[in-house]
């Protein structure tokens, strides 16, 4: 494990461990408060993220920021946001299993440095890898699962909400449950 952020960011930015390195513009390491008690994990960078080097900066990101703001969460204040893979899969295809496994070391290292109390999986890709293989987001969103002393919960991916706005109330309920859980177990997220 790498034990400083400077070194992690530097090395991750020059990673060529999988083929996604060949087509990326920027490595998207993550954004937010490195002492956050809540960590959000998406799938992988899209076009806007690849160009900007920051996660969730497109239309889905704007929706995510709005839902976060509704429960007093803010990427520039009290949470950290990362992805399963740090480089954009071509044409936004799902990251391949071997790409995810190659990249997982970076995410594990980020988790070791942040030591979050709660991890929120945004969408199926992170939920099936991090919570359980047969995770069904449509049925099991908003439920907290405990793993190694960390609570994990999945919610619908913002891009899925843009495709299917009927599901926005369900996602909003998840954010309210998250707010309640934060109030219950976190020390300084709402300071």
> Which spans of this chain sit near ligand URA (rule: CB under 6 A)?
42-46, 49, 55-56, 60, 83, 159
Least distance (Å) between residue 118 CB and ligand SF4: 24
Q: Which is nearer to ligand URA, 81 or 182 (CB)?
A: 81
- From ligand URA, ligand SF4, none, which one binds at residue 102 (CB under 5 to 8 Å depending on kind)? ligand SF4
Sole residue written with tokens 């945004």: 122
Using the minimum distance from each CB to ligand URA, give the nearer residue, 21 or 160.
Answer: 160
What are the CA-CA distances from residue 145 to residues 59, 122, 124, 130, 174 (Å)? 29, 15, 15, 10, 14
Q: How far is the CB of 44 from ligand URA (least distance, A)?
A: 6
Q: CA 19 to CA 40: how far, in whole Å?
A: 25
Contacting positions for ligand SF4 (CB under 6 A): 12, 15-18, 20-21, 27, 85-87, 99, 102-103, 106
The Cα–Cα gap between 6 and 51 comes to 21
The DSSP element (H or E) to which 158 belongs, if any, is helix 158-163
CB of 69 vs ligand SF4, minimal distance in Å: 29
For residue 33, give the 3-state DSSP assignment.
coil
CB 42 within 8 A of CB 31: no
Closest distance between ligand URA and the C-beta of residue 46, in Å?
Answer: 4
């Amino acid at each position: 494990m790498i034990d400083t952020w400077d070194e992690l960011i530097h090395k991750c930015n020059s990673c060529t461990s999988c083929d996604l390195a060949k087509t990326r513009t920027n490595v998207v390491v993550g954004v937010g408060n490195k002492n956050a008690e809540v960590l959000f994990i998406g799938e992988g960078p899209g076009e806007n993220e690849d160009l900007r080097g920051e996660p969730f900066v497109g239309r889905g990101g704007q929706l995510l920021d709005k839902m976060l703001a509704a429960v007093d969460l803010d990427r520039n204040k009290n949470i950290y946001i990362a992805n399963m893979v740090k480089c954009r899969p071509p044409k936004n295809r799902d990251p391949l299993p071997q790409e995810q496994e190659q990249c997982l070391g970076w995410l594990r290292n980020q988790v070791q440095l942040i030591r979050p109390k709660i991890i929120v999986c945004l969408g199926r890709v992170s939920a099936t890898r991090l919570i359980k293989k047969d995770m069904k987001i449509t049925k099991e969103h908003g439920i907290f699962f405990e793993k190694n002393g960390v609570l994990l919960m999945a919610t619908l991916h913002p891009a899925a909400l843009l495709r299917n706005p009927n599901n926005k109330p369900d996602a909003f309920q998840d954010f309210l449950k998250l707010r309640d859980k934060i109030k219950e177990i976190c020390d300084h997220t709402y300071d």
